[in-house]
Amino acid sequence: MAEEIAEMEVPELVEKPTGQMAFLKKVDEERFVEAALFMSPKAITLRELSRHTGIKDLGLLQKCILRLIQRYSETDSALEVIFERGIAAMRVREPYNAMVAHLAASSQFNKGIMKTLAVIAYKQPITQSQLVRFRTSKAYDDVKALEERGFVQKIPSGRTFALKTTKRFSQMFDKKQNTENQPKQTNGFE
């Protein structure tokens, strides 16, 4: 047994993009992407995923995500991987999500952004100027963050914008929508 261990090839450690010694030189990219999605507290863009994993080839990252989607859809796992418009996430499937949501460490948005999102969802379509009257000028920053993450769509409407939630919002927050209309998992795009 000791001889077998001595003969094993030990992979070299390489420096993580942030400067910490942590990653093996020869790593299975798909498992690496899977681990990154698992640890990410929020949905993550391909560019963010590239930055955090050090995998520069966005095509390779996309292929890894699509293989993960297929693998999780073929198993009876409580987890699923979603990928839409260049944004990927690993999440708990329904009905398990409802049973374990209270265990989540924190929301991906602060309370202020969540309140802004709730107003938009409830009053949609709502103009940005109306939203600012409800939520103060902080709503401008909230809308920017929500739009960047794909939860809100801004449509020009005169001198302001009409705001409404996106399909991504429905997939992430509307439990009935989640169970009835799962994202297409053949290629990860709509």
Q: Write the pLDDT tens digit of every residue in 68-113.
A: 999 999 988 899 999 998 899 999 988 888 787 766 644 567 888 8
- The owner of tokens 């292929």 is 63
Residue 184 has pLDDT above 50, yes or no: no
DSSP string, 129-164: HHHHHHH-THHHHHHHHHHHTTSEEEEEETTEEEEE
Task: Give me the pLDDT at residue 45, please.
Answer: 92
**Confidence class for position 12, pLDDT limits 50, 70, 90:** very low
- Asked whether the beta carbons of 113 and 142 are under 8 A apart, the reply is yes
Domain 2-99 has CATH 3.40.920.10: no
> Would you say the CATH fold of 111-170 matches that of 2-99?
yes
Quick one: tokens of 82? 């979603």
- Asked whether the beta carbons of 41 and 108 are under 8 A apart, the reply is yes
In tens, the pLDDT along 30-66 reads 888 998 898 887 889 999 999 888 889 999 999 999 9
Better pLDDT: 174 or 110: 110
At 3 the three-state DSSP class reads helix
Write down the domain spans for the chain. Answer: 2-99, 111-170
Domain 111-170 has CATH 3.90.15.10: no
